[in-house]
Structure 1
Amino acid sequence: MTIAMELSGRAKAMLRAVAAGRAQLSGGREPDLYVDGLPCCDQMVTHDLVHAGLLRARRAVGLDERSDAELTDEGRAAIA
């Protein structure tokens, strides 16, 4: 997958938090990102990163659940 967008500093910081093992995603089609247990302030960037295939939940979760987040290969390349 080729990403046709330039990542903002905030988006890169969010990806670095995921890479550091500090993030979780909620379930659902438009997941929310939690960093250090707190909800991330930019839900739109979270949705963009998930839909672009840069991050994902480690396991399938329901709407009221969370899973540790992980970077995809594309996500790792985006912050390399």
Structure 2
Amino acid sequence: MSGSGVELTHRAKAMLKAVAAGRAQMSCSCEPDLFIDGFACCDQITAHALAHSGFLRPAVEGGRGRVTAELTEAGRVALEVTVAA
């Protein structure tokens, strides 16, 4: 699940859409957990993979605790490909 050209699962795409909609937060840690609408995401393995693969990141550089999550350029491209398909 790294970089462009990799097919994302429906769940991963839904997680990216939630981030794009401003509904997600993530923890600032080496294994960043994702929270959607204030609740812990049910698939933290995918959340970790999306973060480590560069699809999403904390919106606050050097933040602590939970911060707003944002899409990276790779995340935006992944969603554009999803919409076009």
Residue 75 of structure 1 corresponds to: 75
Q: How many residues were matched structurally?
A: 78
Superposition RMSD in Å = 1.4
Q: Which stretch shifts more, 51-60 or 13-22? A: 51-60
Which is further off, 10-19 or 51-60? Answer: 51-60
User: CA separation in 1, counterparts of 2:4 and 2:20?
Assistant: 19
Contact 2:3 2:54 in 1 (8 A): no
Q: Which has the higher helix share?
A: 2
Paired residue secondary structure (2:68): strand
Report the alpha carbon displacement of residue 3 of structure 1 after superposing the two structures with TM.
3.4
CA deviations over 1:11-50 (Å, ceiling 9, x no partner): 0000000000000001100010000000001000001000
Q: Which residue of 1 aligns with 2:4?
A: 3
Output the TM-score relative to the length of structure 2.
0.85
| Larger displacement relative to structure 2 (36-45 or 3-12) | 3-12
Deviates more, 1:42-51 or 1:4-13: 4-13
Does 2:19 correspond to 1:21?
no
The percentage of counterpart residues that share the same residue type is 53
Query: TM-score normalised to the size of structure 1?
Result: 0.90
C-alpha distance in 1, partners of 2:22/2:3?
Answer: 25
Unaligned segments of structure 1, at least 5 residues:
none
State whether residues 23 and 33 of structure 1, in contact with CA within 8 Å, keep that contact through their aligned partners in structure 2: yes
Q: For the residues of structure 2 that align with 1:70 and 1:35, how far apart are their CA atoms?
A: 12
Task: Give the match's secondary structure for 2:69.
Answer: strand
Alignment correspondent of 1:33: 34
Gap regions ≥5 residues in structure 2: 81-85
